[in-house]
Amino acid sequence: MIKKATIKDISLIQDLAQKSWRSHYPGIISHEQIDFMLDLMYSEEEITRQFNNPNYHYYLLGDAENFYGIMGFENHYEENTTKLHRIYITEEGKGKGLGKEAIQFLKNQILEVGDQRIILAVNKQNPSYHFYLSQGFKVYEEGVFDIGNGFVMDDYLMEWNA
């Protein structure tokens, strides 16, 4: 199930991000970088700012009983392009097909708004890279991005074209 999130869901979004990041990213990035990035990207102020952008959308991913993940994307991020900023699924939600369902939903959604391309960034050590490949994404660039406090993101930039 994919449900559009509202500003009332900020605490749920924060909780799902915390659970997902704390189980998925150790071993990929340091605990200090996890804390820094969660504070940077999931503060109430930052999520509120995103909700106030009419092109930014959050969706909750789950089944009839529970939500296990979030997806956040921004239509018209660049010309004809939607940016998938985040898709995170907790350990309890893995293996339920939520990621595939979310990506298919996004592929359909971008066409409805007139975009033709989805871009995303994924850490080079993140096993999710292989998931994106399986969903038709391709690497178009690599980069190391300074995010402050001495931390960097060492990422593949990937794209899917309609």
Matching residue, tokens 């296990």? 68
In sign, the C-alpha dihedral spanning 72, 123, 25, 91 is positive
> Where is 144: in which H helix or E strand?
strand 138-148
Q: Which long-range contacts (CB under 8 A, 24 or more apart) does 123-130 make?
A: 123/28, 123/29, 123/153, 123/154, 123/155, 123/156, 124/154, 124/155, 124/156, 125/28, 125/154, 126/24, 126/28, 129/156, 129/158
CATH number of this structure's domain 2-118: 3.40.630.30
Q: Is 155 helix (H, G, I), strand (E, B) or coil?
A: strand
Written as tens digits, the pLDDT of the chain (162 aa) is 999 999 999 999 999 999 999 999 999 999 999 999 999 999 999 999 999 999 999 999 999 889 999 999 999 999 999 999 999 999 999 999 999 999 999 999 999 999 999 999 999 999 999 999 999 999 999 999 999 999 999 999 999 999
Tens of pLDDT, residues 101-112? 999 999 999 999
Residue type, 30: S
Per-residue confidence (pLDDT) for residue 64, from 0 to 100: 84
> DSSP of 32-101, one letter per residue?
HHHHHHHHHHSSHHHHHHHHTSTTEEEEEEE-SS-EEEEEEEEEEEETTEEEEEEEEE-GGGTTSSHHHH
pTM of the model: 0.94
Spell out the residues 6+ positions from residue 20 whose beta carbon is closer than 8 angstroms to its own. Answer: 69, 70, 88, 89, 90
Q: Which helix (H) or strand (E) holds 104?
A: helix 98-112
